[in-house]
Amino acid sequence: MMAAIAAHPELGRPAGIPLPTGSMRDHMWWPARNDLLWPSDGALDFVTAVLRRVADLFPGRWVHIGGDECAYQQWASDPQMPDLLRERGLDKVEDLQAWFIAHASRVLADLGRSVVAWDEAAAITDAEDILLIAWDEERGMARAAEATQPYVFADARTLYLNRVDPAGAATQKGMLPAIGVRDILAADWAEASAERCVGVQACVWSEFVLDGDDLLSMLFPRLLAVAERIWNREVDIDSAADAVAAEYRVLREHGLLTASA
């Protein structure tokens, strides 16, 4: 959203209002940024236009609208925010995120599409037509357990492959703590077996990925371990690790992976 606001400043924080100080998240350092839409007709028009364009470009049913890491303090620090909330029939700044999600959901419903959102959405809406992506480690798994909506299991502790691989063939820059093949094979994925879980998702976020070779080094061989866990819930760690290593060698021998991977 920062890029959209940089291009269209009227969508974001009003000019002249300083950003709040301190961290925007309790468990980590997260400075305030001008990355939230302000409640305005223009912001709703922008959301509508973007979602209509996405629906034009992509034929699939599901459209991911985000919804994570929303720093309410940034809205609350605007002296005019109480008036903006009253104009929209809202009681508090925390209601703004649900207000935006409800608007996006209506737009997508009119287009015959359905909403996907990060697991934080479960704490602010009980709409049954939302598919959650449960990513946020212990917090996300707790939200998924308490929610009623279906979800995709994407626990960042073992499914964020932008974490450093301790056995990586190349020097990597990425999230910590590191995770290796055996960590993935041995992880407790109880949430992935729940009735409301409709799938498993592995991610690589690109903040620290330098190029295609670097991407492959982050993906392999750990993506093979993810696949093994998905297909074989009762995995034997030793035999699965051997199978992953053997398949990794095959990929390298056939030139499908670069030397750095």
- Is the pLDDT score of 148 beyond 80? yes
Give the pLDDT of residue 129.
86
- Does residue 52 belong to any structural domain of this protein? yes
Structural domains counted in the chain: 2
Per the structure block, which two tokens stand in for 15? 């000019």
Reference 100, options 123, 134, 66, 144; nearest CA is: 66
User: In terms of domains, do 84 and 172 share one?
Assistant: no
Which of 113, 132, 159 is the last residue before a domain boundary?
Answer: 113
In sequence order, what are the residues at sequence separation of 6 or more whose Cβ sits closer than 8 angstroms to the Cβ of residue 89?
Answer: none
- Does residue 131 belong to any structural domain of this protein? no
Give the pLDDT of residue 261.
64
- Does residue 224 belong to any structural domain of this protein? yes
- Does residue 15 belong to any structural domain of this protein? yes
- Is the pLDDT score of 77 beyond 90? yes
Q: Which domain holds residue 102?
A: 1-113
In sequence order, what are the residues at sequence separation of 6 or more whose Cβ sits closer than 8 angstroms to the Cβ of residue 246?
Answer: none
Reference 119, options 103, 96, 136, 95; nearest CA is: 136
User: In terms of domains, do 24 and 81 share one?
Assistant: yes
User: In terms of domains, do 260 and 184 share one?
Assistant: yes
Across the beta sheet with 130-134, what order do the strands follow? 62-64, 114-118, 130-134, 151-153, 197-200
User: In terms of domains, do 94 and 172 share one?
Assistant: no
- Does residue 133 belong to any structural domain of this protein? no
Q: What percent of the chain has pLDDT over 70?
A: 97
CA angle 227, 231, 234 (to 5 degrees): 115
Note the pTM of the prediction, 2 decimals.
0.89
Cα-based distances in Å from 250 to 221, 236, 245, 254, 259: 11, 21, 9, 6, 13
Give the pLDDT of residue 161.
96
Integer Cα distance of 238 and 4 in angstroms: 48
Give the pLDDT of residue 125.
85
Give the pLDDT of residue 126.
82
Integer Cα distance of 168 and 18 in angstroms: 43
- Does residue 140 belong to any structural domain of this protein? no
DSSP E strands: which ranges in the chain?
Answer: 62-64, 114-118, 130-134, 151-153, 197-200
Interval 200-250: pLDDT, tens: 999 999 988 888 888 999 999 999 999 999 998 889 999 999 999 999 999
Q: What percent of the chain has pLDDT over 90?
A: 75
Find the catalytic residue in 69, 207, 228, 253: 69
User: In terms of domains, do 7 and 102 share one?
Assistant: yes
Reference 184, options 208, 205, 167; nearest CA is: 167
User: In terms of domains, do 192 and 92 share one?
Assistant: no
- What is the mean pLDDT of the segment spanning 187-200? 94
User: In terms of domains, do 89 and 25 share one?
Assistant: yes
In sequence order, what are the residues at sequence separation of 6 or more whose Cβ sits closer than 8 angstroms to the Cβ of residue 138?
Answer: none
Per the structure block, which two tokens stand in for 169? 């063939």
- Does residue 144 belong to any structural domain of this protein? no
Q: Any catalytic annotation for residue 87?
A: no
- Does residue 119 belong to any structural domain of this protein? no
